[in-house]
Amino acid sequence: MSSRRTTAITGSLLTASFSAVMIFSFSAGADDQGPMSGKGGKVVDEAPPGVKLTTLLPEKISVDNSSQKTAITATVKNGGNEESGEIRLLVVGFDGLAVKGVAGCSEITKKDLPEGSNSGFACAIDNLAAGKSKSYDVDATFDVKKQGKICLPVQDAAGEKTFWQQGPVPFGANNPSPNAPATPLLLGTDNSPVTPGSDELPKTGPADKVLPLGAAGAALISAGAAGLWWTHRRPQRRES
């Protein structure tokens, strides 16, 4: 075999190997949302003895600038030493962030959505054992020309008590590039997109709310310096 032919074959193999590495790296990166965080979470109603419910969201997500699509992992965890019993997790979108689907969960009808939200899904959980967690794949869109928030309340099965609520917490970027193929967004950061001819972002909806769907009327709850609002609607229980 001539040295020229050997060089050509070696070059082809190196090119193929490099391409394979690039494809693998991109695929892995697309699903890698980094560390998870409970930022923006708070206890609302006291959980049953021995039950400690919390939620986690990825610290970073990536939005496709052409389709506005993004993927988010929502996790609910029981950090206590007793089983949770029947509970439900809500995944609710605000402003520029719209929840399009949550695997294994039911869409909340428009009339039953929490005030100020644009979309939401309810995930029924029969029981969450002590020390266990359950994660859900969330399909969403994010209009990077707006601010966007997500909220994860954890309630009893009837929606009458909210044991934990993360958010509404924003995803955003301080300095996004409008010409990039994707925009990376960080949890707990207000979105500040570059919008020609505009120095201010459109602001819609309340900034800090408690979203249990089950309060029997509106009531302002005092929690330090922040006011937490209850919604007016009571949810319909889903038949199994």
Q: Where are the domains of the chain?
A: 33-196
Query: What is the structure's pLDDT at 58?
Result: 98
Q: What is the CATH number of domain 33-196?
A: 2.60.40.1510
pLDDT value of position 85 = 97
Number of Cβ within 10 Å of residue 64's Cβ equals 16
- Which stretches in the chain have pLDDT values below 70? 1-33, 194-240
**Residues with Cβ within 8 Å of residue 14, at least 6 apart in sequence:** none
pLDDT in tens, 3-16: 444 444 444 434 44
In this prediction the pTM is: 0.72
